[in-house]
Chains A and B, each alone.
Chain A
């Protein structure tokens, strides 16, 4: 479904030249959920931005659904590939109601039957149609993230890119959103790329994953290897191993 070969992204020139991605290659099969883990600044969000077509300059080969995509994407591309961002406080327009937010992709792609679509997608993400005329400030963090997911789903994409979709949420709300995502993924047979810094979340959501460090993929493995702690690279051990999280020195 997704096939990335030697992706390279460089920002700036001369002394401020910075290679954000170095020779990143991976494949994601149809219906699979692929995880990307790493510290901030390791390039995992940049990978998503390249996939989504938000990055202007990159090199390499990217095949989505069997066809090679270039830097400029046709409108039709964005019906197939959608993205959910980390911060539901920042990704929804504060002066637009849920209805107006959801109408926008419908207008862009000239979809028919807008009201029925909005009702359906809102009930899919567990919000009643009563939420249609609320503004973002009238919603909780979890409800906002549901609206952001609804906005991505309303064009019926095949691929969903998720950039830390639960790290701004409380743990109890995180569980609700993760369950919702698993549900929708099964119902719509979506292919997903899931970025997170939390190995437990990645284990819960993904089939396979790559560990990234300073713009490169260090190791790609199955989620079972992650569960059993079978790591090849030392860096993976340090990032995800048993010593994960803060351990207080013995008193």
Chain B
């Protein structure tokens, strides 16, 4: 069996902002390959994980300077593409599931129209066909009575249902790469499980490559094959998910230790002591 070419190849990706106080580096020379697998990106707020996802999508803020030695998607150099070519790629081949369906669904369109629009844009389906596909997709994300939900507006559905609608829209174009940025953080714990199960099944069935960005170490270790740990804009450690609890970097160990664990009660939780050397020390493999 030959090793398939990676879906995404990132080498030395950096995102810089010029500020009044000098240059701020949000992402600093991040490199990784992503095949048809699930890779988790974990880090605290401000670690650059979201900015990295946005830079790959080509939707970093205009003020950001995105540089990379390689940024390849299915062998295609993303850096050399025009804005128009990028637009053709986004949504159809690469799509992004955002955190909060309250802000990312269009409040003035019914749910069905939004999902059908995704089909019409990406698959050049007729209006009728797009509607049929949208209904099928709503059913695939386990929305009971999709015909009723089709006619509802986003404010009329719950957060969990909104997020399922978003997943259905984002998978409509049959993308090769799905970037999920904290897809369940805005949801209730009990709903989180359902949404993850749906995402899990669809990613498996359709063979998407998944980049799963989250602050939740345990969740990522259960959901992904590999985990990248980000700190201050850099990947400080890369691990296979089963080995998360054998992490070698002091930062990863510190994060794991600071979590209260059921059935292992301690009087005082260990607090993470940030070592200034972590910023620049080489990554642990």
What is A's interface to B at a CB cutoff of 8 Å? 39-41, 141, 170-176, 178-179, 182, 197-201, 203-204, 223, 226-229, 239-240, 244-249
CB proximity of B50 to chain A, nearest CB, Å: 14
Chain B residues near A246 (CB-CB < 8 A): 192-193, 196-197, 219, 222-223
Q: Which of B44, B190, B263, B267 contacts A227 (CB 8 A)?
A: B263
Chain A residues positioned under 8 Å from B223 (CB to CB): 246, 248
Q: Does B45 contact A (CB under 8 A)?
A: yes
What B residues does A200 contact at CB under 8 A?
Answer: 259-262
Task: State whether A245 touches B219 (Cβ < 8 A).
Answer: yes
CA–CA, A198 and B259, complex, Å: 11
A20 to B127: give the CA distance in the assembly, Å.
Answer: 44
Complex contacts, B271 vs chain A, CB 8 Å: 172, 175-176, 179
Which B residues are within 8 Å of any A CB, using their own CB? 44-45, 188-190, 192-193, 196-197, 200-201, 215, 217-219, 222-223, 254-255, 258-263, 265-272
- Asked if A227 meets B262 with Cβ closer than 8 Å, knowing A39-B190, A247-B222, the reply is yes
Q: Which residues of B contact A141 (CB under 8 A)?
A: 45
14 more A-B residue pairs beyond the given contacts A172-B44, A245-B219, A248-B200, with a C-beta to C-beta distance below 8 A: A141-B45, A171-B255, A171-B258, A172-B258, A174-B259, A179-B268, A179-B269, A200-B260, A200-B262, A203-B265, A204-B260, A246-B193, A248-B223, A249-B200
Q: Which of A39, A41, A171, A199 contacts B262 (CB 8 A)?
A: A199
- What CA separation (Å) do A39 and B192 show in the bound complex? 11
User: Which residues of chain A are near B222, meaning CB under 8 Å?
Assistant: 245-248
Nearest CB on B from A120, distance (A): 23
Query: Contact between A170 and B44 (Cβ–Cβ < 8 Å)?
Result: yes
Rounded to whole Å, the gap between the CB of A239 and the closest CB of chain B is 8
Find chain A residues with CB under 8 A from B44 CB: 170-173
CA distance A117 to B4 in the complex (A): 66
Complex Cα distance, B265 from A59, in Å, reads 37
Chain A residue nearest in CB terms to B197: A246
Does more than half of chain B's interface fall in helix, strand or loop, or is it mixed?
A: loop
What separation, in Å, do the CA atoms of A245 and B215 have in the docked complex? 15
Cα distance, A239 to B188, chains bound together (Å): 12
Q: In the bound complex, how far is the Cα of B261 from the Cα of A182, in angstroms?
A: 16
Q: Distance in Å from the Cβ of A172 to the closest Cβ of chain B?
A: 4
B100 CB to closest chain A CB (Å) equals 14
A172: B residues at CB distance < 8 A: 44, 254-255, 258, 271-272
CA separation between A182 and B267, bound complex, in Å?
9
Query: What is the bound-complex CA distance between A223 and B266, given in angstroms?
Result: 13
- Indicate which residue in B190, B254, B260, B272 contacts A178 across the interface (CB closer than 8 Å): B260
Closest residue of chain A to B184 (Cβ to Cβ) is A246
In the complex, A171 Cα to B260 Cα: how many Å? 9
In the complex, the answer to whether B188 meets A175 with C-beta atoms within 8 Å is: no
List 5 A-B pairs, minimum CB-CB distance, nearest first.
A175-B258, A172-B272, A204-B260, A175-B269, A200-B260
Q: By the criterion CB–CB under 8 Å, are B188 and A170 in contact?
A: no
Q: Kindly state the separation between the CA atoms of A229 and B263 in the bound complex, as whole angstroms.
A: 9
Cβ of A203 and Cβ of B262 under 8 Å apart? yes
Q: A245-B222, A247-B222 are in contact. Are A178 and B269 (CB under 8 A)?
A: yes
Residue of chain A at shortest CB distance from B216: A171
CB contacts (< 8 Å) of B270 on chain A: these are 175
In the bound complex, do residue B189 and residue A203 qualify as a contact, i.e. CB atoms below 8 Å apart? Answer: no
Inter-chain contacts of A198 with B (CB < 8 A)? 260
Report how far A23 CA is from B186 CA in the complex, Å: 30
Which of chain A's residues have a CB closer than 8 A to the CB of B217? 171
Check A227/B265 contact, CB under 8 A, given A39-B190, A171-B255, A200-B260.
yes
CB distance from B16 to the nearest CB of A (A): 22
Expressed in whole angstroms, the minimum distance between the Cβ of B221 and any Cβ of chain A is 10
